[in-house]
Structure 1
């Protein structure tokens, strides 16, 4: 899974446009088809729609099987919501409503080790998107 994070970082650092498709359907085969179609990432919509953690994990697995990174958009930056997603091994976590310093600190705290937070573990495979607008959807 780290190869997807590396691919996203390298393309982003080179100024290349990253293309992805947002999914909110429960059928994870859509995510595999998106990857097989050559898209860089699958935007798994956890804020809007009815996807639960099991659906999200299946979409992540399918995206990777198709060769795309998994981007999970969370409903908020609540650590109880963030920890299971990080533990699943997602490539990118997108936090909505990061428009204040306090919101940014809470999001970072949910993804980091003590003494910087109260989080119990962190995946090195995940990184934060401070502004999801930095990814242009095609």
Structure 2
């Protein structure tokens, strides 16, 4: 039995844009519902959402259930780990891979050296330093995939986040790092790092993002971004972004609940999360 291919990674390599949704409610029930909608990818957030290895596992199982129910490979799960560098980051990456994540998004990269550490942490020797333990791992289906340790390195997709002024200075080297499949530009953190907190729409920030997407493409890697307004999402898709998250489950729940209440109560629903 062959280790499953990574359709998300294949799509990025082929230059096909992938539309995603942030998943932060940390609920396998809501994640299973969203996984059946038809987004190309879902970001299971372990950085800013209340997720750990166990809750991420239940959501990976929920996504797999939706895929089985619809039978069309719907919604590839991308797992954002809380950190990636150092011994702690290497250990966390190993745990998320062992529970079955194939694609990882890792936050806060400033240098190519940090990116290389994560690329190594996600792969078995001799390419990397991922610890051997497939007999205990859901990823190998507890060795039902007999060639897992030989095939896993090619299936893993590593996405790193560039979201500071320093990262943008080093972006060419980060994107060129072997084993890095894509670079995600974080608009919120980048705008704060540039002195415009809460204002990712600032012209200076927009210019840096546009330049960053072009530089990532030039390196032969896939650029990604979160854009929760349609004009921004379409702008970055047109600029060449290959994986774009166009919203978040928390925002959908909030806006939907406010819109429904506004039909029955005057003045309700006026507040809401800002978008960029």
Specify the TM-score bucket, using the shorter chain as the normaliser: 0.7 to 0.9
Match of 1:2 among 1, 4, 26: 4
Post-superposition CA distance 1:25-57 (Å, at most 9, x none)? 131122211221111111000111211111101
Determine whether 1:83 maps to 2:94: yes
- Partner residue in 2 for 1:136: 244
Task: Give runs of ≥4 in structure 1 deviating > 6 Å.
Answer: none
Residues 76 and 96, structure 1, Cα contact 8 Å, conserved in 2: yes
Higher RCO (C-alpha 8 Å, min separation 6)? 1
Q: How far did 1:116 drift?
A: 4.3
Question: Which structure: larger Rg?
Answer: 2
The normalised TM-score by structure 1 is 0.85
Pick aligned residue for 1:111 from 114, 122, 132: 122
Q: In structure 1, what is the equivalent of residue 179 of structure 2? A: none
Change (3 A) 1:71 1:118: same
Unpaired segments ≥5 residues, structure 2: 68-74, 133-148, 160-181, 185-223, 225-241, 247-276
Q: Give the whole-Å Cα distance in 2 for the aligned partners of 1:117 and 1:9.
A: 19
Residue correspondences, number: 136
Structure-2 separation of matches of 1:118 and 1:91: 16
Structure 1 residues 115 and 85 mapped into 2: Cα distance closer, same or farther (>3 Å)?
same
